[in-house]
Amino acid sequence: MTRTADETPLALTRRARRTVRELGVLHPDAHCELDFTTPLELAVATILSAQCTDKRVNEVTPALFARYRTAADYAQADRLELEEMVRTTGFFRNKAASLQALGAALVERHGGQVPGRLEDLVQLPGIGRKTANVVLGDAFGVPGITVDTHFGRLARRFGWTSQEDPVKVEHEVGALLPKKDWTLASHRLIFHGRRVCHARKPACGACAIAPLCPSYGLGPTDPEVAGKLLKTPADVATTP
């Protein structure tokens, strides 16, 4: 794990937990931004969200969910029709193939139901560890850390980890935070990464948690300049 020069492991843990609390004040509405009503719908939406905005996925899924209501529906889908329905999410052929394979695997191995265990989820087509943790946390209420590009970037900038591998990031951050907070912490970091702590130019001078961040200064520190970098929900909807 990465700490500031004079920071003990205990101090790092305390800072990490305080940062998550402060992010909760800053982003009280942090949540999964994919629309869904069932574990299957969330699994499908998360697969479609790869290299695509949540807004675009949410535009596609109402018709998709109405057409394909069960795992068997996806398994038996006409491939060309399915591809057309998810075309605007990008990589539509691969995504359609993953959805069809997922449906077939759920029917064959789990009676058509999405399992609620990580070890079962990661064995399914199209479901990696990140997607599995999204499904567990938001559909089943099982704490999970979702290491997407935003989460990994912020965890490193906060000095919580120096790891690049998502699984190692997940384990190191998980050791700092109470398990019950894992899912919400994931949403808060992702919200902050999309709106404030951008990859190329973080809005350091307009960041409410700057005093807790050892990477302060990577972006402009002038409040007026930094303020112009902040993204609104409408801005966020245009980028993955």
pLDDT tens for each residue of 14-63: 999 999 999 999 999 999 999 999 999 999 999 999 999 999 999 999 99
In a shared domain, residues 125 and 50: yes
Nearest to 39 by CA among 137, 128, 129: 137
- Whole-prediction pTM: 0.90
CATH code at 163? 1.10.1670.10
- Positive or negative torsion for Cα 234, 209, 31, 191: positive
Picking from 139, 172, 189, the residue at the C-terminal end of a domain is 139
Q: Is 130 a catalytic residue?
A: yes
Catalytic residue, candidates 54, 95, 138, 148: 148
Residue 63 inside a domain? The answer is yes
- Whether the pLDDT of residue 156 is over 60: the answer is yes
Asked whether the beta carbons of 154 and 189 are under 8 A apart, the reply is yes
pLDDT at 32: 94
Confidence of residue 179 (pLDDT cuts 50, 70, 90): very high
Would residue 147 be called left, alpha or beta, if left means φ above 0 and alpha means ψ between -120 and 50 degrees?
A: beta
Residue of 36, 16, 81, 76 whose CA lies nearest to 212: 16
Claim to verify: residue 18 and residue 55 sit in the same structural domain: no
Number of domains in the chain: 2
pLDDT of residue 4: 59
- The whole domain housing 197 covers 9-30+145-236
Looking at per-residue confidence, does 95 or 4 come out higher?
Answer: 95
Q: Are residues 114 and 159 in the same domain?
A: no
Judge whether residue 240 has pLDDT over 80: no
- From 54, 130, 138, 181, the catalytic residue: 130
Domain stop point among 115, 139, 163: 139
CA distances (Å), origin 228, targets 157, 191, 204, 205, 225: 21, 17, 11, 10, 6
pLDDT score recorded for residue 238 = 55
Report yes or no on 110 lying in a domain: yes
Q: Are 11 and 214 in contact (CB under 8 A)?
A: no
Confidence of residue 237 (pLDDT cuts 50, 70, 90): low
Q: Are residues 184 and 126 in the same domain?
A: no
Question: Which pLDDT score, from 0 to 100, does residue 232 have?
Answer: 80
Q: Express each pLDDT in 184-224 by its tens digit.
A: 999 999 999 999 999 999 999 999 999 999 999 999 999 99
Is there a domain that residue 1 lies in? Answer: no
**Assigned domain for 4 exists:** no
CA distances from 234 to 37, 223, 230, 238 (A): 23, 22, 11, 7
The string of pLDDT tens digits covering residues 68-114 is: 999 999 999 999 999 999 999 999 999 999 999 999 999 999 999 99
Residue 177 lies in a domain: yes
